[in-house]
Chains A and B, each alone.
Chain A
Amino acid sequence: MASSAAVPFWRAAGMTYITYSNICANLVRKCLKEPFKAESMNREKVHFSLSKWADGKPQKPVLRSDAPEV
């Protein structure tokens, strides 16, 4: 059993709980059989464009349009 000071392996690797749960969800989706698999893979599509701002100026936007396990 982990001691109270150890963090779970995924947090030590730099992931948040959200990323961890998304990866688990993706694994579950992969276990489904067709046609449910295709339907649920559809629900996983990620697309948005993010841009950080510094001193009131937007920097180059980063387009995140890939599978959600990033």
Chain B
Amino acid sequence: MAMAVFRREGRRLLPSIAARPIAPIRSPLSSDQRRINLHLFCREEGPLGVRSISTQVVRNRMKSVKNIQKITKAMKMVAASKLRAVQGRAENSRGLWQPFTALLGDNPSIDVKKSVVVTLSSDKGLCGGINSTVVKVSRALYKLNAGPEKDVKFVIVGEKAKAIMFRDSKNDISLTVTELNKNPLNYAQVSVLADDILKNVEFDALRIVYNKFHSVVAFLPTVATVLSPEIIEKESEVGGKLGELDSYEIEGGETKGEILQNLAEFQFSCVMFNAVLENACSEMGARMSAMDSSSRNAGEMLDRLTLTYNRTRQASITTELIEIISGASALEAAK
């Protein structure tokens, strides 16, 4: 400890002396070699010419790694609290579209002329791999559905997917939506969005790609299919689940076609609402685990740096001791 104090004092006293030049090696070295030698001398002499291996560099790194660890821990807490808030709403909103699936069935493998793929992603980053999985699934859907006379267009929600899709599928994008998460998610917002999509894009089938939230560590990319009313009519003639629609009695003065149209629009809106909520949940969960592993990595890095720091510190103390002792013994021997 006294050594450390002495060293610190030494550092304060020595600036006047330390204007001594770092001895240039007068030999035919290349400029790189000279620079490396300079570097070595500098490191050995410390920032102010003190004769100790510098622990300053390691200490700076430790400070910055510790700060990063604190920040990522805080982000994890924030994501965890946001997750808790959205999770309840997402699970409750699942009940919105379940009656539709019971009535109309889910037809992911339907073959239509015009499909529109709605890709949901997040605006902010640092959330692990969820956005890239969603984009992968969207691209796969594109390949599945593209072909002669068939048309696939993208509607992208969220900045992250926009950036990724822009690189290779930009000619197929028809709409992008951003800043959806500025206010807390509510049905009114999503329904206006659904309305805009309906008005701007022609479709026979809408495939919504999102991350379904199963648990805090598990989110699976899912595709939800919503058909346009004309296709439903066509399918109901074929039979199957949709064929039973005719057995329902329709009240009021509306025809089956009108009811189907209303239902299709409302179904799209409900499915979008649920998909957006589940995607938000998955985003929070992914961010939690990403920040968690990041803090753990920072902790490990800090451990390693602490070991290096201690080793350098002890080495420099030992060097000083050796110098002092050899100096003292030389004086004794000279006596």
Residues of A within 8 A of B (CB): 1-4, 6-8, 11, 16-19, 21-22, 25, 43-53, 55-58, 61, 63-64, 68, 70
Contacts and interface: CB of A to CB of B under 8 A. Distances in A.
A2 to B, nearest CB: 4
A64 B253 CA distance: 35
Interface stretch (B63-71, B100-108, B183-191, B322-330): B183-191
24 contacts: A4-B255, A7-B258, A17-B266, A18-B191, A19-B195, A21-B191, A21-B266, A43-B188, A47-B183, A48-B182, A49-B177, A50-B175, A50-B176, A50-B177, A51-B176, A53-B175, A53-B176, A56-B173, A57-B170, A58-B176, A63-B179, A68-B188, A68-B189, A68-B192
A68 B255 CA distance: 29
A46 B171 contact: no
A16 B198 CA distance: 9
- The B interface, classified by DSSP as helix, strand, loop or mixed, is helix
Interface in B160-205: 170-171, 173-180, 182-183, 186-189, 191-196, 198-200
A64 B180 CA distance: 10
A51 B253 contact: no
B17 to A, nearest CB: 63
A61 B176 CA distance: 9
B193 A16 contact: no
Contacts of B173: 53, 56
A19 B188 CA distance: 10
Nearest to A50: B177
A44 B188 contact: yes
Contacts of B179: 47-49, 63
Nearest to A1: B253
